[in-house]
Amino acid sequence: MANNAKTYVNLVFLLAIALSLHVIQGQVQPPIDAIYQFGDSISDTGNLIRDNFIGEHSPFASLPYGQDFFHEATGRCSNGRLMIDFFAEYFKFPYLDAYLNKAGNFSHGVNFAVAGSTALTTGTLALKGIISPLTWSSLSVQLNWFQSYLTSICPDLNDCKNKLANALFIIESGGNDINYAVMERKNIQGIYGMVPEVIGAVKAAIEEVINFGATRVVVPGNFLFGCMPIYLYMFPPNNATLYDELHCVEQLIELSTFQNNFLQKTLKELQAEHPLVKIVYADYFNAMKGLLQNATALGFDETLRTCCGMGDNSANFGITKICGFKGVPVCPNPDKSVSWDGIHMTERAYKIMADWLLQHNILPAISKAA
């Protein structure tokens, strides 16, 4: 009897889960027909390696980048697919081609993201004494590319608005402005002051795509970048560097939290000004936090150590022995590592975060009635 009751409870419980899954899937039918991506190495599917001489000769242009899925380097900064690839898979689109790829097929959108790029222009950063070492193609350059692309597909602006009405825009920028400032200056407190300007550049980009006709704009915040092996290498544990419970550099976690809060406040204001547009904060910070907290259960052995890299420190990172340099080894099973090269994550880490973001954050937000 007791057993039957238990079986019954289990059955009801399973039904409830099945029903709620059904509801979630029922919600998830936004008529999205294209994705336009702006951003940096988190999203670049091949622009930097075509953007300039440094990009062409960067490690991202050769193996082991891409080794585990594409079996060749595509310009993606990982061992395989990125989150944008998993988003494209979800919508049953082909992987988004890079804008600078002359053979690209843009039937379901375009990827304008350039690895190494910043939200502020290289000129603006230079005035602050910050060098953007890989590319000049900052967010405003990517928006110029978008504008040229639009004029090529729809010379009439109203026609463009119709074309973009069912598109998803992702504007992921501003991480590198902070990265370069930290790496080049190391004075973390002095960086807080530049956050409003960086977010201002992201805001201007959102307003620009809305003017062109965007109706759904997803804007990711910063990762827990203080957990990246490059920073664990730069800020080794000592009295000046406090580590948090996840063994990340606490001062950097605080900085990214400040940046994310500032971004969320800005998005709320923008949303109030544009009630017919869905402006969605994508919580990359908590997607990564959940992954790190559940790392063991998710089958990861290494969370704070590079898979591809070398260094006589616990982060397995060295600035002269970075992934892609001669003689730098790759771990036998990248699926067991969160960090691919110390700055970028592995395909498997990206897949777990992309799935979480779609189900808990992006899909519910874009399918909600305006």
Ligand X SMILES: *[C@@H]1O[C@H](CO)[C@@H](O)[C@H](O)[C@H]1NC(C)=O
Using CB under 6 A as the criterion, which residues of the chain lie in contact with ligand X when the complex forms? 94, 105, 107-108, 238-239, 290-291, 293-294, 352, 356
Least separation, in Å, of the C-beta of 350 and ligand X? 12
Q: Which is nearer to ligand X, 93 or 192 (CB)?
A: 93
Best CA proximity match to 202, nearest among 277, 279, 272: 279
Least separation, in Å, of the C-beta of 240 and ligand X? 9
Contact 300, 336 (CB under 8 A): yes
Least separation, in Å, of the C-beta of 320 and ligand X? 26
DSSP state of 128: T
Active-site residue, 344 included: yes
The catalytically annotated residue of 44, 97, 341, 367 is 341
Active-site residue, 341 included: yes
Active-site residue, 108 included: no
Other Cβ atoms within 10 Å of 78 Cβ, number: 28
Least separation, in Å, of the C-beta of 330 and ligand X? 25
Q: Which is nearer to ligand X, 96 or 195 (CB)?
A: 96
Q: Which is nearer to ligand X, 60 or 300 (CB)?
A: 300
The catalytically annotated residue of 152, 301, 344, 360 is 344
Least separation, in Å, of the C-beta of 237 and ligand X? 8
The catalytically annotated residue of 41, 132, 337, 339 is 41
| Distance set, CA 14 to CA 5, 7, 26 (Å) | 14, 10, 18
Best CA proximity match to 244, nearest among 253, 234, 232, 257: 253
Q: Which residues of 200-220 are buried (b: 16+ CB within 10 A; e: fewer)?
A: ebbbebbebbbebbbbbbbbb
Give the number of C-alpha atoms closer than 13 A to the C-alpha of residue 156, restricted to the C-beta side: 4
Q: Tokens 């402005």 label which residue?
A: 177
Element (H, E) at 191: none
Q: Which is nearer to ligand X, 94 or 123 (CB)?
A: 94
Q: Which is nearer to ligand X, 322 or 358 (CB)?
A: 358
Residue nearest to ligand X (CB): 290
Contact 256, 225 (CB under 8 A): yes
Give me the active site residues, please. 41, 341, 344
